Amino acid sequence: MMRRLAYVLAGLTVVVVTGLVLTLIPSNHYIVLPDRARPTDPLVRIPGEESQDEEDIYMVDVRIGRANLLERLFPSIREGADLLPERAINPEGVSDRQRRQSSLNDMSRSQLVAITVALRELGREVEVSGDGAEVVLVQPGSPAEGVLQVGDVIVEAEGEEIESIDDLRRALDDVEPGQDVELTVQRGEERVDLTSATQASPDEPDRAVMGVQVQDALDFEFPVDIEIDAGAIGGPSAGLAFALDIVDELGEDIDRGRKIVATGELTIDGEVLPIGGVKQKAIGAREAGADIFLVPDANYEDARKAVDDLEIIPVSTFDEALSVLAAN
């Protein structure tokens, strides 16, 4: 009997030690997990508006990290986990730091868009103008690597003023692959003159590219000095929640005592675009005790499959989100 007990204890010790070792060794996969829902009111500061006594509009995010070997072998030990290969999280050659910076830039832009959509919904005038071409990704090994940085705003190229990505493309029309391009960028508070080499586009061999991804840089003029501080949270999917919170604070009572969790990227025109990680976000909304979970139309089926004990409402525009909340 004592010998059998010793064997059992030895076996358990091996299992426990092996499990601990596996948690310390990183794998080549990433794991996506639910995150807790956060109230938006403490994150949104509007002059003259006091923080609400009750926090009823929530945003929800996901947690992404490199999976350890135990999670790689047994992902189901974590509720709502999705295991993804590295290339699904980081494009080839892109580091975690670069992805993180791009995600934070997406969050910053989504906040400005949310403020714009909410104020226009309330009848306030917001002026939005083109301000250049913003670098959102520098391809590793490209001519622009080491020259341009994520967050740089290209305001001049080959002597031409740049207000949009279309302007940048036109300015590069006469540049042959392999030639240098003279640029002026807004980097933080200063303007910097740069020279970048080019290469042939993989899709259009006759077109010169620097190896960057860009988006229109926009300048916003708000009639109200609204600030949103999401801390280290990245990505554009909190736009819908932020816009709802602003309307709730400055206009009508949207929540009416209910706990509303919302996710969705907003466009300047008020469209609600699909987002990633909706399974994990649905679980986060359920765990927060949400009365209503608003999701983009395109994400509804996946959210519905993830949880069956939560009222999930699909929306395609900000106006529709306001309408369904008023009607329900």
Is the pLDDT assigned to residue 65 strictly greater than 60? yes
What pLDDT score does 30 carry?
A: 84
3-state secondary structure of 198: coil
Q: Scanning the structure block, which residue is given the tokens 């310390």?
A: 24
In order, the DSSP letters of 209-253 are E-SEEEEEEEEEE-SS--EE--TT--SSTTHHHHHHHHHHHHS--
Q: pLDDT digit string (tens) for 2-60?
A: 666 555 555 555 555 555 545 557 677 888 899 999 999 999 999 876 555 556 899 99
User: Under a CB-based contact definition with an 8 Å cutoff, are residues 162 and 183 in contact?
Assistant: no
Distance of CA 75 to the CA centre of its chain: 24
Is the pLDDT assigned to residue 137 strictly greater than 60? yes
Tell me, yes or no, if the pTM score tops 0.85.
no
Q: pLDDT digit string (tens) for 82-136?
A: 888 877 777 666 677 777 878 888 899 999 999 999 999 999 999 999 889 999 8
User: Under a CB-based contact definition with an 8 Å cutoff, are residues 35 and 284 in contact?
Assistant: yes
Which amino acid type is present at position 261?
A: V
Residue-range domains of the chain with CATH: 31-125+224-327 (3.30.230), 127-220 (2.30.42.10)
Q: pLDDT digit string (tens) for 252-289?
A: 888 888 999 999 999 999 999 999 999 999 999 999 99
What pLDDT score does 88 carry?
A: 73
Nearest CA to 197 out of 260, 132, 141, 156 is that of 141
Nearest CA to 120 out of 237, 220, 253 is that of 220
